[in-house]
């Protein structure tokens, strides 16, 4: 049944569904994104999406081979949206920080899509654009090529992987998510000092810190280390 999907360009006859909706790849992706945003990540199922569109679930298989296909289409749309409004200022550290936070926020806004797409290399236009821009920022800052690539790689993977990590947490059913934050309060904060001295001493900090994403802190650490490298390099340019 893999010949069921017709490439979007070749699509010509658009018959409205029983409920009068004219389907299209774009409409499906948009509706899916809206569904995720409004009713949580697990609201996205072929059947629910069909219902939301006013179409039979099986109709969607005329546009996407399977749900994974749909997820990738959604992810692609997300990359575009993240990059579309970003503009470099010339301050490499501020630029990288801004971009990192945007990528992370983009992932959190659409957790399911982020989780599925974070580890894929698409080789598509937006991704290429991002690589070029990022490398430009780093080389412009004065990092030698090998170092720029090394830091680019770490930076991107950090943004993607933290994005996915936090997105996965956000995509958890509400009950499970609340249970997790409760664990720090109910379990860790109550461990006695004689058996777990370090946890007991920092319990207050743990409860406060662990409910937040560690990405901003990790990002700042990475940028600090990069800046340190840069000053070392400038000190001995031929090293």
Quickly tell me which residue has 């950090």 as its tokens: 158
Please, what sign has the CA dihedral across residues 59, 63, 69, 75? negative
Q: Please give the Cα distance from 210 to 150 (Å, whole number).
A: 29
Quickly tell me which residue has 């080389």 as its tokens: 139
Query: Closer CB to DNA, residue 18 or residue 174?
Result: 18
Size of the site for DNA (CB under 7 A): 30
Beta-carbon contacts of 49 under 8 Å, excluding residues fewer than 6 positions away, are 28, 31, 32, 35, 57, 60
Q: Which does 23 bind (CB under 5 to 8 A by kind): a second copy, DNA, none?
A: DNA
Among residue numbers 57 through 86, which ones bind DNA (CB under 7 A)?
57-59, 61-63, 65-68
Contact 182, 172 (CB under 8 A): no
Shortest distance (Å) from residue 236 CB to a second copy: 17
Q: Should residue 120 be labelled a site residue for DNA when binding is judged by CB under 7 A?
A: no
Rule CB under 7 A: choose which of 12, 85, 89, 195 binds DNA.
Answer: 12
Q: Should residue 32 be labelled a site residue for DNA when binding is judged by CB under 7 A?
A: no
> 208-227 mask for a second copy (x: CB under 8 A)?
-xx---xx-xx-xxx-xxx-
Shortest distance (Å) from residue 139 CB to a second copy: 6
């Amino acid at each position: 049944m893999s010949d069921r999907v017709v490439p979007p360009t070749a699509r010509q006859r658009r018959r409205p569904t029983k409920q009068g909706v004219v389907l299209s790849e774009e409409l499906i992706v948009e509706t899916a994104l809206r569904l995720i945003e409004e009713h949580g990540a697990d609201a996205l199922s072929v059947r629910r999406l069909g219902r939301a569109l006013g179409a039979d679930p099986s109709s969607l298989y005329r546009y996407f081979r399977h749900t994974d296909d749909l997820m990738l289409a959604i992810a692609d749309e997300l990359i575009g949206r993240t990059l579309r409004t970003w503009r470099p200022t010339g301050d490499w550290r501020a630029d990288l920080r801004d971009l990192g936070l945007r990528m992370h926020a983009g992932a959190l806004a659409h957790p399911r899509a982020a989780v599925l797409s974070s580890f894929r290399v698409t080789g598509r236009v937006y991704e290429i654009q991002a690589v070029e821009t990022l490398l430009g920022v780093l080389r412009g800052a004065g990092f030698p090529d090998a170092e720029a690539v090394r830091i680019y790689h770490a930076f991107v993977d950090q943004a993607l992987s933290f994005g996915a990590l936090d997105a996965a947490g956000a995509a958890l059913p509400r009950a499970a998510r609340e249970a997790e934050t409760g664990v720090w309060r109910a379990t860790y904060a109550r461990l006695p000092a004689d058996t777990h001295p370090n946890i007991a001493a920092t319990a207050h900090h743990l409860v406060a810190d662990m409910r937040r994403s560690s990405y901003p802190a990790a990002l700042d650490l990475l940028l600090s280390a990069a800046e340190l490298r840069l000053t070392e390099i400038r000190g001995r340019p031929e090293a």
